[in-house]
A and B are shown apart, each in its own frame.
Chain A
Amino acid sequence: GAVVSQHPSWVICKSGTSVKIECRSLDFQATTMFWYRQFPKQSLMLMATSNEGSKATYEQGVEKDKFLINHASLTLSTLTVTSAHPEDSSFYICSAPPGGTGINYGYTFGSGTRLTVV
Chain B
Amino acid sequence: GENVEQHPSTLSVQEGDSAVIKCTYSDSASNYFPWYKQELGKRPQLIIDIRSNVGEKKDQRIAVTLNKTAKHFSLHITETQPEDSAVYFCAASRTYGNKLVFGAGTILRVKS
Residue numbers of A with Cβ under 8 A of B are 34, 41-46, 49, 60, 91, 93, 95, 97-99, 106-107, 109-112, 114
Known contacts being A42-B104, A43-B89, A43-B104, is A109 close to B43, with CB within 8 Å? yes
CB distance from A79 to the nearest CB of B (A): 15
Known contacts being A43-B105, A44-B89, is A34 close to B42, with CB within 8 Å? no
Partner-binding segment picked from B13-21, B52-60, B69-77, B92-100: B92-100
Say whether B103 contacts A107, CB under 8 Å: no
- List 10 A-B residue pairs with CB atoms under 8 Å apart, sorted by A's residue number: A43-B104, A43-B105, A44-B44, A44-B102, A46-B99, A49-B99, A93-B43, A97-B97, A107-B34, A111-B42
- Chain B residues with CB under 8 Å of A109's CB are 43-44
CB distance from B42 to the nearest CB of A (A): 7
Q: Chain B interface residue count: which class?
A: 10 to 19
CB distance from A72 to the nearest CB of B (A): 21
Complex Cα spacing A34 to B110, Å: 32
Complex Cα spacing A61 to B1, Å: 13
- Chain A residues with CB under 8 Å of B41's CB are 91, 112, 114
**B97 interface neighbour in A45, A91, A99, A114, Cβ under 8 Å:** A99
- Chain B residues with CB under 8 Å of A46's CB are 99-101
Say whether A107 contacts B100, CB under 8 Å: yes
Complex Cα spacing A111 to B45, Å: 11
CB distance from B12 to the nearest CB of A (A): 16
Q: Which residue of A lies closest to B101 (CB)?
A: A46
- Chain B residues with CB under 8 Å of A97's CB are 97-99
Q: Which residue of A lies closest to B1 (CB)?
A: A60
Say whether A43 contacts B99, CB under 8 Å: no
- Chain B residues with CB under 8 Å of A114's CB are 41
Say whether A34 contacts B100, CB under 8 Å: yes
